[in-house]
Amino acid sequence: MNQKALVRVLLIVLAVMLVLGMVASFTPLLGNLGGQNKGNPAVKVNGTVITDQDLESVRRGNPVLGLTQDGVLGDDFKTAIVESKVQETLLKQGASDQQVSRAEVNDAVSKLREQLGLKSNKEWVDRLQQYGFTDASFREAQRTQLAWQKKLKALQDATPKGTPAEAQLYYTLHPDEFKSEARIVGRQIAVSSEAKAKQLLAQAKGGADFAKLASENSTVNKDRGGALGPIENGEPKPVAKITLPAEVGEAAFALTQGGLTDVVKSGDKFYIVKVERFVPASTQPFEAVRSKAIDAVTKQKQDAAVEAWYTDLRNKANVEFVDSAWKWDDSTVATVNDQRVRYPELLTRMLSDQQLPALLQQLPPADAAKTVNGFVKPGVLDTLVNEYAASEIVKAQKLPLVGSRTALLASLEAYGARDVKITDAQVRDAYQKNISAYRTPASANISEISFASREKALAFRTAFAASPKNLSSSAARAGGTVNELGTVQQGQADQSGQPKLNPLLDKAVYDAGRLEPAGEGSLSDVVEVNGRFSLAYVRDLVRGSTKPLSEVSDQVRETLLQEARTQAGQAYLQAQLKGLKITKSLDKVLAAQEKRVAAQAPKTTPAGGTGTSGAAQGTTPATGGTSGTTNK
């Protein structure tokens, strides 16, 4: 067990959020919690002090928040840091009614020490010091974590279970969660020799009894004729893809119409699978999954209860700023009916996006701020508004949908798309329009032989077809040069976008149908290429093929269905939004932020001139300052 294991334990709030499955809904920003409450008072949450060192520890523990302390982004990061510590403090206060005994704490610590292999007290104390803890402060952190776990369990236990009616609707709106896996009925032969596998494949293709071949030759399941699954009523039972080696499963499950795979190598064995019947994935009947659907609804209700509990804590919180340098922007960026969307909530959600760090690190701070303000924040706000709106719509429409705001939005869009159907005609039309997606292009290992004249090229073609010896030396003696192109697909382009094989030669290889056998390969016709005359020596030719509609119809239908559901769900949501009172004020908040940040920027004095203000630069929070208070 490495040090990361201890880090995971130390990030107490994050661990609790993971239990809830609600990290994205709350804060992803919690950094090194450090056990010592050192530093100067900066913020109070319902009277509980948060020091400047507590806040700086969050910055140090999150690489994104440490990118800059200046400008618009620095101001955003400061707000996010304060919000994360406020959330942490509120969660701790909210769980203060839970009793945790000293024995429970000791047991948790003992298990962790055993897990990490820290037998001596010195090893334990030294490891804790690496993360800013003493034994006493870490035990207090453990007590807090255990209290949170108890509180969450109490909230979940107090939540009513899902009803059959709610479960039925959930089942209807989320059919993909209740699909059985695709399975196959078939048999396999596994041998240790590739040559023997190829011989057995040839016999199977020639009509030999596959079960008999497996019984006589296979090293796997030979006692049941190579059957993939146990024999039941004289037939092999269907098996899922996971029961086969990865490479074998890929080849076998591609045969949706049944048939024989080629020889497939996996590990030290060579496999052949005969697929007798393909059983596609399908939605199981409700009665078969009733309990699973009820559990899913119950989980959604529990998430909603926890979200409501925390929202109530947050709305009632009294946040006081002892150090004005840490005062945040708690502006309203949108309202949905009487619900308020706060700027810190937008920042928390934005910073939970795992792609954001890469964006911020690729751009200079000024450019990053423009991109974030111009594109990222408006998109995040739209999502938040839709989530708040979903709860209002569900309430107004009296729909039997449950869950957190995020879950309600997904369920509401699914509800709006519940009647979407795809016809066979739509499947056929989509297949024809995108038929290239179902084509496997022809390919071959190609050597291009080039000559100065057509006569020399034709003479070489005739001589090499009659006596195919070493290609390079034969071409050289005939006055030609050889260019080994390797495996080339029909119509393939190189990295610069140019054809890897000259189009005329490509056509001669794949379309002309006049390849002349020559040893292990064949020779194409001679064509003129850039003033010279070339032909191709072709080996390992694989003809192109197109999967028939019967083989891919389920795939096409599923793609169309998902696209149609998305469009219908979004259209339904947009129609419902018109009945709500929604205002957005992000532009005003950002304009005020830019003005405030510019005013707070340190003054600079050019040589020989008067002091001027730096453009759009923020200040680094420092101790001292006046007191400010904000509620809710």
What is the per-residue pLDDT across 504-530, written as a single tens digit (0 to 9) for each?
999 999 987 789 999 999 999 999 998
DSSP, res 372: I
On the CB side of 564, how many CA atoms lie within 13 Å of its CA?
15
The residue that leads in pLDDT, 36 or 596, is 596
Strand partners, 499: 493
Query: Which of these, 492, 491, 478, 496, lies nearest to 533 by C-alpha position?
Result: 478
CA torsion sign for 400, 403, 406, 411 is negative
* CB 11, CB 30: distance < 8 Å: yes
Average pLDDT over residues 68-93: 92
Per-residue model confidence (pLDDT) at position 62: 82
Q: Provide the token pair at 199.
A: 């011989």
- In angstroms, the CA 131 to CA 35 distance is 8
Please give the model's pTM, rounded to 2 decimal places: 0.75
Query: Which of these, 349, 347, 344, lies nearest to 387 by C-alpha position?
Result: 349
Backbone angles phi, psi at 231, to 5 degrees: -80, 130
Summary mean pLDDT of the chain: 87
In this predicted model, what pLDDT tens digit does every residue of 417-428 receive, in sequence order? 999 999 999 999
- In angstroms, the CA 319 to CA 229 distance is 63
In this predicted model, what pLDDT tens digit does every residue of 106-130 receive, in sequence order? 999 999 899 888 889 999 998 888 8
Q: Is the pLDDT of residue 34 over 90?
A: no
The residue that leads in pLDDT, 533 or 554, is 533
In this predicted model, what pLDDT tens digit does every residue of 196-207 receive, in sequence order? 999 999 999 999
Average pLDDT over residues 296-323: 95
Average pLDDT over residues 282-311: 94
- 12 pLDDT band, cuts 50/70/90, is very low
- Measured at the CA of 583, the angle between CA 579 and CA 585, to 5 degrees, comes to 165
Per-residue model confidence (pLDDT) at position 605: 52
Q: Is the pLDDT of residue 625 over 90?
A: no
Per-residue model confidence (pLDDT) at position 326: 94
The residue that leads in pLDDT, 11 or 309, is 309
Per-residue model confidence (pLDDT) at position 37: 54
